[in-house]
A = this chain, B = another copy of it.
């Protein structure tokens, strides 16, 4: 019994270390999202460069989390439930790393877009979308730490709004491009930023789904109908 106690608490201590890294990683990714969106709106190339450079730290944290998780699995041979926690942590780290990549990509495009004529209102709309994703991420990580399935479900539903923002922007960029060929190149970049922000939202949703699975033991099925209709909806096609 005391043996078992000892094993459990060692595992918990190991897990705490990993979770601390996850939280650090989450904080950096949140900051990367906001900074990338701000650099885009204010055309701050220096801030964009900081986001690009900072992605290396995020990548390193993921590596450390994976190594630590592997070490814990090998050392503690965790039970099924504890193993699920470890595997969840690794998946969340993977999602965070991908979100960081998208923020880095946004920052890269800032550097390009700073050299082009601005598209009216676009960067403010993108900043609002990025802000929404950042708030979702914050709640998803809170839900993880507090094992709060309800909060996680709420985050999953809010991804719907992000998808709608993306759909609206997709249509808006199409009209800008058709109005003036000079808008085509900047709008292609802005469109990628919008799409990548929408994908960030998908990764936050994936984190939330992991939390729901962790707490309830069930993966939410069809809680979130896919709302990016631009890949299947021909009505976005201009009537020309």
Interface residues of A (CB under 8 A from B): 66, 70, 73-74, 77-80, 83-84, 87, 94, 105, 108-109, 111-112, 115-116, 174, 177-178, 181-182, 184-185, 188-189, 191-192, 195, 231-234, 236-238, 240
Contact = CB atoms under 8 A, between A and B. Distances in A.
A218 to B, nearest CB: 13
A32 to B, nearest CB: 16
Contacts of A240: 181-182
Contacts of A94: 94
Contact of A231 (B74, B109, B181, B232): B109
A188 to B, nearest CB: 7
A233 B112 contact: yes
Contacts of A174: 184-185, 188
A73 B83 contact: yes
A50 to B, nearest CB: 16
Query: Can you tell how many copies of this chain the complex includes?
Result: 2
A87 B112 contact: no
Contact of A74 (B78, B108, B191): B78
A192 B236 contact: no
Contact of A112 (B74, B111, B234): B234
B74 A236 contact: no
Where chain A touches its partner, the secondary structure class is helix
Nearest to A180: B240
Given A74-B79, A184-B184, A237-B115, A231 B192 contact: yes
A78 B178 CA distance: 59
A173 B80 CA distance: 51
Nearest to A78: B74
A195 B84 CA distance: 34
Contacts of A184: 174, 177-178, 184, 238
Given A105-B231, A195-B192, A182 B112 contact: no
Contact of A191 (B188, B232, B233): B188
A111 B174 CA distance: 19
B177 A108 contact: no
A132 to B, nearest CB: 22
Contacts of A232: 108-109, 111-112
A181 B238 contact: yes
